[in-house]
Structure 1
Amino acid sequence: MTLRHRTLQRADCEIHYWIGGPDDGPPIVFTHGATLDHRTWEPQIEAFTARYRILLWDVRGHGRSIPNRVPWTLREAADDLLAILDREDIERTVLVGQSMGGNLSQEIVYHHPGRASGLVALGCAGNTLPLSRRERLQARAVVRMLPWYPRKTLIRQEARASARDPQVREYVREAASRMAHRDMVAVMASLVGALHPEPGYRIEIPELLLHGEHDRLGNFRTAMPVWERRDPLARHLVVPDAAHLANQDNPDFFNDAVLSFLAEHGLDSPKG
């Protein structure tokens, strides 16, 4: 299916997004990870547009939403998405996010809980989960190191760690190469800053938490079971034969898991 391309002018950045599927279908928003773009979700388009109204977008500073002329923050990016939803008259939607996209989706759930009917988090940290002293120190070290890290090395290592499929690795290299190094550093530093442990906080909407079997980029293997136990409607799954971009490494498993999750919780109807 051909997606309809649209733009929205925001503060010092033109945001590009794409809409597909039936206009009266239940809405789903797919948000990509850091340094990538909406093409992250190409393996999902055909499976979801048959029934759902899907929205893909390039987060400010990524893909076609370049240039971004203001300092990048996760809060500003989340506000961009809310503005898109308002423009498209989408009051509540399922939020699907990979890595950074999952962090952004969680911020919307935290600050605007009425806008989300469900959350699918793929290969991302839990923004509000507790952090050990070691994890806090590691996060600070990453922020200090990033400005001095060689750009080409960063892109090469990101591509190698992101996927098992060579074609997916090439996509990561190509997409990341579009970003200026300062923007890459700002995005990654902002994600570290987005971790804000909230004792007693619970997400009360249905959640599907996934990470690739071979994902080594975060603490998902240990953190997502904690996340699952914390939230009453959360379920954790491991995507076999997949790394960080598990939706591309194993799209059949990912698509089936998400579609089953949506049906199980009644999120496959327009009212969600």
Structure 2
Amino acid sequence: MDFLKENTYQTSCGTIHYWSSILNLDANALVFLPGLTADHRLFDKQIEYFEGKYNILIWDAPAHASSWPFQFDFDLFDKAKWLNGILKQEKIIKPVIVGQSMGGYVGQAYAQLYPNQLAGFISIDSAPLQRNYVTAVELWLLKRMEPVYAHYPWKLLLKSGTEGVATSDYGRNLMREMMLVYDGAQKRYAQIAGHGFRILAEAMEKNLPYELKCPALLICGTQDHAGSCIRYNKAWHRNTKIPLVWIKGAGHNSNTDKPEQINRLIEEFVANI
């Protein structure tokens, strides 16, 4: 990560920290968006591999890790607008969003607001934002997760949070490190998770098309047991014909479980857009 330069972007709710390496403004830029409660380290293996090959940008999402303090007074579209502000600040004109889980939802909100600006979109263990994929019960639950995270014993949360998202030792240890940012600050962790799920439900309830007008790729681990990711991805692929690649033996953070395979898929995708 040494070659990445840390920068900041000011918003009305707080300061976002992000890291970038811009080699050539005319080339595609890989914009890595980590999932809920994860930070920029989630993509260490991708950044290591793509260093010097493409323009790269990655953030600590609002309220996460370095992007704190931050007011929880924003929605998914604010995140997409701030991302657009960061891309403008870095003069990036051909972004390829690589979004893991919540990062994939931010990418779809971005595509809704700026339909002609994306050069490509890769979803890693994420799911579609369209309303018709989720049940009323799922939406109801998404809006009520904060107390669950606030009252769950921290040690158990740490265990389930790390073992539940990855199958590899590397992936689990990394998630543990990222969760330990909130050790002694469980209230903040619960706020980040609860707020994230709530704004996700609200974006789904808007019932917008969230159409991807750029080349796209769906990636999902065969052992992804976070929510109903596997079911969503099957339906997403069936309804849109967007190519879907299953990562054998990988969990919800498949880019940490099978980094070589994911890096190859990203490389092939970018080469063909």
TM-score, normalization by structure 1: 0.88
1:238 counterpart SS class: strand
2:119 counterpart SS class: strand
**Offset from partner CA, 1:126-157 (integer Å, 9 cap, x none):** 0016235xx32133124334324424244432
CA RMSD of aligned residues (A): 2.1
Aligned counterpart, 2:261: 253
Aligned counterpart, 1:269: none
Aligned counterpart, 1:141: 141
Pairing of 1:156-235 with structure 2 (within 5 A): 156-179=159-182, 180=188, 181-196=190-205, 198=207, 202-231=211-240, 234-235=242-243
| Distance in 2 (alpha carbons) for counterparts of 1:208 and 1:257 | 9
Number of equivalent positions? 262
| Distance in 2 (alpha carbons) for counterparts of 1:45 and 1:131 | 32
| Distance in 2 (alpha carbons) for counterparts of 1:190 and 1:17 | 22
1:143 alignment partner AA:
K
After superposition, the Cα gap between the structure-2 partners of 1:72 and 1:171, relative to the gap in structure 1 and judged at 3 Å, is farther
Deviation at 1:7, TM superposition (A): 1.1
Q: Is the 8 A contact 1:36 1:62 kept in 2?
A: yes
| Distance in 1 (alpha carbons) for counterparts of 2:207 and 2:239 | 12
| Distance in 2 (alpha carbons) for counterparts of 1:4 and 1:162 | 29
| Distance in 1 (alpha carbons) for counterparts of 2:109 and 2:174 | 27
After superposition, the Cα gap between the structure-2 partners of 1:63 and 1:28, relative to the gap in structure 1 and judged at 3 Å, is same
**Mean alpha-carbon deviation: is it higher for 7-16 or for 200-209?**
200-209
**Offset from partner CA, 1:9-42 (integer Å, 9 cap, x none):** 2113111111125234321100000001111110
**Mean alpha-carbon deviation: is it higher for 202-211 or for 169-178?**
169-178
2:246 alignment partner AA:
V
After superposition, the Cα gap between the structure-2 partners of 1:243 and 1:250, relative to the gap in structure 1 and judged at 3 Å, is same
Aligned counterpart, 1:268: none
Aligned counterpart, 2:51: 49
Deviation at 1:178, TM superposition (A): 3.0
1:115 counterpart SS class: coil
Q: Is the 8 A contact 2:112 2:211 kept in 1?
A: no
Could you list the runs of 5+ residues in structure 2 that have no partner in the other structure? 183-187
2:247 alignment partner AA:
V
| Distance in 1 (alpha carbons) for counterparts of 2:84 and 2:208 | 26
2:78 counterpart SS class: helix
| Distance in 1 (alpha carbons) for counterparts of 2:80 and 2:110 | 6
Q: Is the 8 A contact 1:207 1:235 kept in 2?
A: yes
Could you list the runs of 5+ residues in structure 1 that have no partner in the other structure? 266-272
Deviation at 1:212, TM superposition (A): 0.7
**Mean alpha-carbon deviation: is it higher for 98-107 or for 83-92?**
83-92
TM-score, normalization by structure 2: 0.87
Aligned-pair identity (%): 28
**Offset from partner CA, 1:147-174 (integer Å, 9 cap, x none):** 2442424443221111112332232233
Deviation at 1:262, TM superposition (A): 1.5
Deviation at 1:110, TM superposition (A): 1.2
**Offset from partner CA, 1:180-204 (integer Å, 9 cap, x none):** 1223211222223222485876423
Aligned counterpart, 2:39: 37
Aligned counterpart, 1:86: 88
1:130 counterpart SS class: helix
Deviation at 1:84, TM superposition (A): 0.2
Aligned counterpart, 1:117: 119
| Distance in 1 (alpha carbons) for counterparts of 2:96 and 2:180 | 30
1:19 aligns with 2:20: yes
Aligned counterpart, 1:270: none
2:132 counterpart SS class: coil
